[in-house]
Amino acid sequence: MNGPGQLDIVQQRLGLGCARLGSVLARDQSDCSQLIQTAFDRGIRFFDTANIYGQGDSERILGKALRDRRKQITIATKAGQYFPAWMQLAKPIKRIITPLIRGSGAGRRMVSRVRGAALPQDFSERSLRISVEASLRRLNTDYADIVLLHSPPANVIADGEALSALEKIRAAGKAIKVGISCEDVGSALLALDDGRVEAIELPLWPVTEETERFLDRVRCRGIFVIGRGVMGTGSQTPGIDRWSRAREALVASVSRPEINRVLIGTTRISHLEQVLDTVQSIKAPPCS
């Protein structure tokens, strides 16, 4: 463990994105647990997940790996998306088919196509309540620090009824902050029109005028901003240049006080270590 200092401040401004934990293309559960342990040991205290990640296994892995450290970490989860019936039926045989899919190029391509497809959504009060309660059971906790609507369309954001449902969940003591995980900056700007929103997650790169407008608006609002997609910067660029562009985006994001947490999405310990070693030279504002 690193002692107190600038390095700890920077690393605590990072979060581990857990979208791939428990997926059929991810590492084994023991490797995922070691990834979480490494992140914790290197100063990361923020973990971002969702009810659909790994068909619930992401939350299960997090809950098991961090069950003795609940008071030391911040967990953000999401609700509003769900798997269609055929995917739910495949869940019991997931362990059987996973090695076959990992070893097959066609299987991996199929999984990639499924990941890219839009999932059905249900932002009704009943569905959100059931989803959050199930997430808390998987996470082995009584509450989530942040509960977000998962990629709602513009009409759901503008209507505000789904956020009213999250307010009830918060009032019941099952969430500390509530907000919206957005697919784009336009949706994030729309979410800011609802004064009840306390947290927003969104892709931050590439930075545009719209992104700057969003960050200008949150500066005085006290909104907890979670940035994702930073490490995917330069994904179309091969080799060293790709990492250089991602590093540039990471440094710029962590250095901005309007962005509370920047997510590192990876299942590889070596990649996580590379990112954490990179931030040693960054001068970042204190955590909030």
Q: Where are the beta strands (DSSP E) in the chain?
A: 14-17, 46-48, 74-79, 144-150, 175-181, 199-203, 224-228, 261-265
Whole-angstrom distance, CA of residue 153 vs CA of residue 268: 32
Angle between helices 269-278 and 29-41 (to 10 degrees): 20
By mean pLDDT, which of 18-27, 99-108, 127-136, 163-172 is the weakest? 99-108
pLDDT, one tens digit per residue, over 134-151 is 999 999 999 999 999 999
For 95-127, b/e burial (b = at least 16 CB within 10 A) is eeebeebeeeeebeeebeeeeeeeeebebeeeb
- What does the buried/exposed string (b/e) look like for 2-30 if buried means 16 or more CB atoms within 10 Å of the residue's CB? eeeeebbbbbbbbbbbbbbbbbbebbebe
According to CATH, what is the number of the domain 6-83+119-281?
A: 3.20.20.100
Confidence of residue 81 (pLDDT cuts 50, 70, 90): very high
Q: Provide the pairing of β-strand 144-150 with 14-17.
A: unpaired
pLDDT in tens, 189-247: 999 999 999 999 999 888 899 999 999 999 888 899 999 988 776 555 555 677 788 88
Q: Output the pLDDT for position 49.
A: 98
Give the pLDDT score at 209.
95
| pLDDT, position 118 | 79
- What's the pLDDT tens digit per position in 243-287? 788 888 888 888 899 999 999 998 899 989 988 888 776 666 777
Span 172-193, pLDDT tens digits: 999 999 999 999 999 999 999 9
Q: Which residues contact 33 (CB under 8 A, 6 or more apart)?
A: 61, 64, 65
| Contact between residue 9 and residue 43 where contact means Cβ atoms under 8 Å apart | no
pTM of the predicted model as reported, rounded to 2 decimal places: 0.87
Tell the burial category of 80 from Cβ atoms under 10 Å away from its Cβ (0-12, 13-18, 19+).
buried
